[in-house]
Amino acid sequence: MGSVPLVPPPLPPVAASFSGDRSEFRRLVTRGALLELVTVGFYRFWLATDIRRHLWTHTAVEGDAFEYTGRGKELLVGFLFALAILVPIYLAYFLVGIEAERLKAFASFPLFAFLYVFGQFAIYRARRYRLTRTVWCGVRFWMEGSGWAYAARAALWAVLMLLTLGLILPWREAALERYKMRHSHYGDLQGRFEATGWEFFKRGWWIWLLGIASVTLPAVVIGLATAYAPARLPLAKLATTGNPVLVIAMLVAGPILYAVFKALEWRWWLSGIRFGDVRFEATLSRGALIGLYWKVIGWLVLISVAFGGYLYLCMQLVVRATEMPMDRFLASGGLQGNILFLVLVGIGYLPFALLFNVVMRVYLMRDVWVRLVGSTQVHGLGTLADVSVRGDLASAVGEGLADGLDVVGF
């Protein structure tokens, strides 16, 4: 027998697990979409809550499942508060916009910048609401910090993003996540974010380069050919945007690159999160999300074809109602401004939009979540054995603002 070690060896990492049933989730979002239709959209607060409850309660670490304690009614109240804040802002925005347009046409464009900053504030506060409704082992997560300080940082980084054509994205994400995580807590354990922009850049720089190249190279090649060798212009077009094979290749590559980018981003983000000695490790492979994005694209094509068929039927119906040959009808621009046609399109559009929402929620919300959780290992869980409850609940106004401004953030 050797000597007994004074320090216990570190516990082996524990895998996170997801136990939810896919068909149950599908039923949940389908029913939710129908209810959204019946309630002209007001059900969205309860649907968002039910989706989170499903995802949270079926996610477990070391057998202990999370709990989401938010309620739909809170989101509704938050939305109403947000309206009270947004209505005067929109009115002021309108009047300031008029003044700016008077000086120069379309000068009101920079005012979008203000709404962008406001959107970032909403994103911060929305995350704070969600975090304070997350409970694990009888202790809640919580968040402090200033939404405005965050929004100011996000805006400055957005300017840098524009100046560097997006090259700085990894450092922007790292810096913003550092601010968010520094102010996040699990009970009395403070969070932090330790992944660096450089690590993300090292893994994903080639995606950025391909993206930039696909836009700038054809422009440069065609531009040069036009300026210096007009005779070679057809050749230049064949080598770039004029070549159907190349264009199809780019269309196929786009979603794949985006899926790889998202997988890298998730993996990098999870690996940087710390609560005390607890750290996460995701083994999500680069290609893990490609299939999901293609399935969504497949559904989108199917839904578009079906909607196209519906539009054709509507057109036939309207043409028959006006008793005019189809070609003359179209030539006279009869469809534009034809209210009956617009009404039919509007009525048909809603079910298709809702169906696509169901597809998005199943593939890009639930399936991405499941893959991410399934590939996650948690290290240093021992620290969490005795964490004290701290922190207060945050209001849902941030969620309401994010809803009202149509911003999505995490």
In the region spanning residues 72 to 91, those forming contacts with other proteins, defined by CB under 8 A, are 72-73, 83, 90
Binding track over 13-32 against other proteins, x by CB under 8 A: ------x-------------
Q: Does 139 bind other proteins (CB under 8 A)?
A: yes
Q: Return the axis-axis angle of helices 72-103 and 397-405, rounded to nearest 10°.
A: 50
| Angstrom distance (rounded) from CA 278 to CA 14 | 11
In SS3 terms, 17-78 reads as EECCCHHHHHHHHHHHHHHHHHCCCCCHHHHHHHHHHHHHHCEEECCEECEECCCHHHHHHH
CB 255 within 8 A of CB 293: yes
Return d(Cα 315, Cα 339) in angstroms, integer: 12
Query: Of 37-45, 151-159, 206-214, 220-228, which segment contacts other proteins by CB under 8 A?
Result: 37-45
- Segment lying near other proteins (by CB under 8 A), choices 166-174, 208-216, 221-229, 387-395: 387-395
Q: How far is the CB of 187 from other proteins (least distance, A)?
A: 6
Contacts of other proteins in 89-108 (CB under 8 A): 90, 94, 97-99, 101-102, 104-106
The region of 49-57, 151-159, 239-247, 296-304 touching other proteins under the rule CB under 8 A is 49-57
CB of 1 to other proteins, least distance (A): 31
Among 387, 396, 397, 405, binds other proteins (CB under 8 A): 387
Phi-psi region of 166 (alpha: psi -120 to 50; beta: other; left: phi over 0): left
| Shortest spacing between CB 261 and other proteins, in angstroms | 22
Residue 349 touches other proteins, criterion: CB under 8 A:
yes
Q: At what angle do helices 169-182 and 244-272 cross, to 10 degrees?
A: 30
Site string for other proteins, 210-249 (x = CB under 8 A): ----------------------------------------
Name the nearest CA neighbour of 296 among 267, 262, 269: 262
x/- track of binding to other proteins for residues 51-70 (CB under 8 A): --x--xxx-x----x-xxx-
> Which is nearest to 185 in space by CA: 215, 221, 142, 127?
142
Q: Pick one of 6, 388, 392, 410: the residue that binds other proteins (CB under 8 A).
A: 388
